[in-house]
Amino acid sequence: MTEPPVSSVLPDDAGQALLVGRLWDPVTGGPRVVALSGDSAVDLTGLAGTVSELLELPDPATAVRAALLDPAAVLQRWAAADVVAASLAGDTARPHLLAPVDLQVIKACGVTFVDSMIERVIEERCAGDAGRAAEMRERVGKALGGSIAAVRPGSAEAAEAKRVLIAEGLWSQYLEVGIGPDPEVFTKAPVLSSVGLGAGIGIPAFSSWNNPEPELVLVATSCGEVVGATLGNDVNLRDVEGRSALLLGKAKDNNASSALGPLIRLFDGDFTLDTLRGEEILLRVEGRDGYLLEGRNTLARISRPFEELAAATRGRHHQYPDGFALFTGTLFAPTQDRDEPGQGFTHKHGDVVTIRSRHLGALVNRVGAAEELPEWTFGLRQLFAYLEEQHQMEQRQVQE
C-alpha cells in the first residue's frame, strides 16, 4: 500500500505555515517538541522541553524561526513523510505525532452555533432516545423557526426570545447558554490525555447514540493570549448528555475522547485570529460498511466572538499557569439516518473520521471501543521523569 504523502495532512499553504507540535521518540522513550520544516520534523526540545514552555516565550514564532536557522539548536530530525505515515498507520513503534499540546488544560465551549443548540434541545427533549429525535426535531423546528438564528447572545432580543419560549413551554438549559449572557465553558479532558493524528478515538460501550464534533481549537498562553490554533474532535455521546446535562462529564471525558492535531499553527505574518473567523472545517466519516457522511462547520456562523469565549475561560475568575486549549464548538450535528429510518447517525467501530480545514490541515482518526483502545498511561509524573532524565543526559554529554 502506498504511504500517504505529508501534504495529505498539512495546510494548503504549508510552505508559509509555522507548525509546531509533539512527536513520540521510541529511541528516548518520550515526547519531543518539534516544528515542521520542509521535509523534516525538527527536534526543538533544546529550545523548550514542552509545548507549553515554548508558547510562553515572549515571541514563540520568532523563537521557532530562529531555532530552525541555527544548527546548534536542532537536536535531531526525522523525515516528515515517515512520521506522518507512521501516525496514520497507528504504528507506535516508529516516531509518530502526538496531540500537539501537553501541559495545557483542555477546555471546551458548547452550544456556540444555533444549529447545534437546537440539536441539544432535541437531545434533552428526547431524554437521550434516538428513536424520538425525528419527531422532536420537526416539533422544535416548527416552534423556533429560523428567527432565533439572528439573535445576539445576551442581548435584549435574546431576553425577549427567552420570555416567549418559556411561555410556550420550550425553554431549555441549552437555549440559556446558546443565547443567554454566559457561554458554556467546561473541562473537556485531563492534561496529557488527548490523542493525536492517526490515533483511535474512543466510544464507550454504554453509548449507542454518538457523533464526532469537528471544531476549531484555540491555543492560549497563561495570560490568555491566543497564539495559535489546531483542529479537534470533541467526541460526544448524545444519549448520555441527553439524559441529563449533569452527565456532561460522562458524555465528554472518556478514554481517547479528545483528539487534537495534526499540529499547532502559530500566528505569524498574514495568519492571524482574523484569518480563522471565516474558516470552514470539513468533516468526512467513512464507515467499513461503505457509509459516507460529510459535513461543514462554517466559523462565520459562530454566535460569539473568539475573544469572548477566551475571556469566559481565563480571567480574574480562573487562571491557567500552563496555558489552555479551547474547543470553540461545532455547527455540525449529524442527523442523516445511517441504519433505521428516524434513528439518525451514530458511530460504528472502524469509522475513519477526517476533520480538515484550509489553514490547519487534517486530523484523521479511527473510531474504536474506549475500553479496548490503548490505555492512557503517560501522565505528568512520567513526563517530568522523562524531562529530568533527558536533562541529566545532556549534562553528562557536556561534561564529557
Taking only the tens place, the pLDDT of each residue in 193-236 is 999 999 999 999 999 989 999 999 999 999 999 999 999 999 99
Query: Is the per-residue pLDDT at 1 higher than 50?
Result: no
Of residues 363, 369, 333, 332, the one with CA closest to residue 350? 369
**To 5 degrees, how large is the angle CA 110–CA 17–CA 309?**
20
Residue 125 confidence (pLDDT) above 90: no
188, containing H or E segment: strand 184-189
Q: Is 259 exposed, middle or buried (0-12, 13-18, 19+ CB in 10 A)?
A: buried
Q: Residue 256 pLDDT more than 90?
A: yes
Answer whether the bond into residue 262 is a cis peptide, omega within 30°: yes
How far is 300 from 104, CA to CA, in rounded Å? 26
Strand locations in 345-393 (E):
352-357, 361-369
pLDDT given at position 112:
74
Average pLDDT (162-169) is 68
* Burial label, 240 (beta-carbon count in 10 A; 0-12, 13-18, 19+): buried
Buried-exposed string 130-145: b where 16+ CB fall within 10 A, e elsewhere: beebbebbeebeeebe
185, amino acid identity:
V
CB 131 within 8 A of CB 209: no
Where does the pLDDT of residue 67 fall: very low under 50, low under 70, confident under 90, or very high at 90 and above? Answer: very high
Residue 400's pLDDT is what? Answer: 73
Interhelix angle 114-126/133-144, rounded to 10 degrees, is 130
With a CB cutoff of 8 Å and minimum separation 6, the contacts of 91 are 85
What mean pLDDT comes out for the span 363-375? 98
Contact 258, 325 (CB under 8 A): no
The region of weakest confidence among 14-28, 114-128, 316-330, 351-365 is 114-128
Which range is least confidently modeled, 212-221, 239-248, 272-281?
A: 239-248
pLDDT one-digit tens code per residue, 76-118: 999 999 999 999 999 999 999 999 999 999 999 987 766 666 6
pLDDT at position 164: 66
